[in-house]
């Protein structure tokens, strides 16, 4: 991975770590579907003029159906699942769950592409899953919160990573070489069309506050439009497995932003479970072994 790609990876992690903060703040007022519709819809409105200005409309017309499907998998569905989880979980906690994405990508790659899974990577997957299990156990059985609601929130956060993994492999398999602007715009448009009916049905009766609107705009422009331009570029330059290792760093920023800006508690157990999860993820992707993850 080049220095430029490494810097982009860290910057992307900081941006996506902030997305948990913005969603945690805005989702109680907007609701899940309206907030995520605004996130992808405003992102699409931001990207579409740029796409037209760059003369890439013909490129989108060629792959619109595939990029729309990809938008459902990489944006509409996982964003809604994470927003739902953030009605219950802290932004730092939810960002740790997001670190399972590379493990989910390895599993999807194994099933979909028949990629080989050496012993060390298999052990890493088990360790990573153990870390998330410890985190979930502590949240479910040590905290005084509603057990069912917490369990559903954790499940939603984990399932979201599966959709991210499907999207990463789908992009590499069917959209390899497609311009990142085309991919990003098509994905946001596809996600917007899918969520529009739900957003209209569940639009909040009470007007959201100015800060919630600003959070939604930041989610759209920074955490979606710009972030996905960076992410799809990384998929093409370093491959889906290495690109999804951005989630190694996302929990660091997720906990940092949550603790400093929302006064969320970061317990020692959270840090330990996060370390176990990231250790397993590192082994599962081959990053810790130093050989790098196998790319499809």
At residue 295, does pLDDT exceed 60? Answer: no
Band of pLDDT at residue 292, cut at 50, 70 and 90: very low
Tens-place pLDDT, residues 207-239: 999 999 999 999 999 998 898 888 888 877 887
Measured CA to CA, the distance from residue 241 to residue 168 in angstroms comes to 8
229 token code pair: 């331009």
What does the pLDDT average to over 47-73? 93
Contacts by residues 257-260 (CB-CB < 8 Å, ≥ 24 positions apart): 257/17, 257/18, 257/20, 257/21, 257/91, 258/20, 258/21, 258/24, 258/90, 258/91, 258/92, 258/95, 259/92
pLDDT given for residue 293 in this prediction = 42
Which residue is associated with the tokens 């409105």? 45
Tens-place pLDDT, residues 146-201: 788 889 999 999 999 999 999 988 988 898 888 888 998 999 999 999 999 999 99
Greater confidence, 35 or 246? 35
- Kindly provide the b/e burial profile for residues 230-263, where b requires at least 16 CB atoms within 10 angstroms of the residue's own CB: bbbbbbbebbbbbbbbbbbbbbbbbbbbbeeeee
Measured CA to CA, the distance from residue 17 to residue 117 in angstroms comes to 29
- Kindly provide the b/e burial profile for residues 191-205, where b requires at least 16 CB atoms within 10 angstroms of the residue's own CB: bbbbbeebbeeeeee
Measured CA to CA, the distance from residue 183 to residue 39 in angstroms comes to 16
Q: Which of 43-47, 67-71, 142-146, 188-192 has the lowest mean pLDDT?
A: 142-146
What is the torsion angle, in degrees rounded to the nearest 10, for the CA atoms of residue 121, residue 124, residue 128 and residue 130? Answer: 130
DSSP, res 205: S
Backbone phi, psi, residue 262, to 5°: -115, 5
pLDDT given for residue 96 in this prediction = 84
Query: What's the Rg (C-alpha) of the chain?
Result: 18
Question: How far is Cα of residue 187 from the mean position of the Cα atoms in its chain?
Answer: 14
pLDDT given for residue 2 in this prediction = 75
Measured CA to CA, the distance from residue 85 to residue 87 in angstroms comes to 5
How far separated are the first and last CA of the chain, in Å rounded?
A: 16
Mean residue pLDDT of the chain comes to: 85
Band of pLDDT at residue 112, cut at 50, 70 and 90: confident
């Amino acid at each position: 991975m080049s220095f430029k790609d490494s810097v982009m990876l860290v910057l992307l992690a900081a941006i996506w770590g902030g997305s948990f903060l913005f969603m945690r703040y805005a989702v109680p007022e907007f609701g899940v579907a309206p907030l995520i519709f605004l996130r992808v819809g405003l992102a699409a409105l931001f990207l579409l003029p740029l796409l037209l200005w760059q003369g890439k409309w013909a490129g989108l017309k060629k792959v619109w159906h595939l990029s729309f499907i990809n938008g459902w998998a990489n944006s509409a569905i996982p964003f809604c699942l994470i927003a739902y989880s953030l009605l219950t979980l802290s932004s730092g906690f939810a960002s740790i769950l997001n670190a399972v994405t590379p493990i989910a990508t390895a599993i999807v790659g194994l099933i979909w592409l028949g990629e080989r899974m050496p012993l060390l990577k298999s052990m890493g997957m088990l360790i990573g899953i153990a870390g998330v299990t410890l985190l979930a156990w502590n949240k479910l059985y040590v905290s005084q919160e509603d057990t069912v609601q917490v369990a559903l929130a954790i499940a939603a956060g984990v399932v979201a990573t599966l959709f991210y993994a499907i999207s990463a492999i789908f992009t590499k398999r069917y959209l390899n070489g497609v311009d990142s602007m085309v991919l990003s715009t098509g994905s946001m448009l596809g996600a917007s069309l899918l969520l529009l009916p739900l957003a209209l049905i569940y639009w909040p009766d009470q007007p959201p506050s100015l800060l919630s609107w600003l959070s939604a705009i930041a989610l759209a422009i920074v955490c979606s439009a710009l972030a996905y331009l960076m992410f799809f570029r990384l998929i093409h330059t370093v491959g889906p497995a290495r690109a999804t290792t951005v989630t190694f760093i996302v929990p660091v920023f997720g906990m940092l932003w949550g603790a400093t800006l929302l006064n969320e508690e970061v317990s020692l157990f959270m840090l330990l479970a996060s370390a176990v999860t990231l250790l397993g993820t590192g082994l599962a992707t081959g990053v810790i072994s130093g050989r790098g993850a196998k790319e499809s």
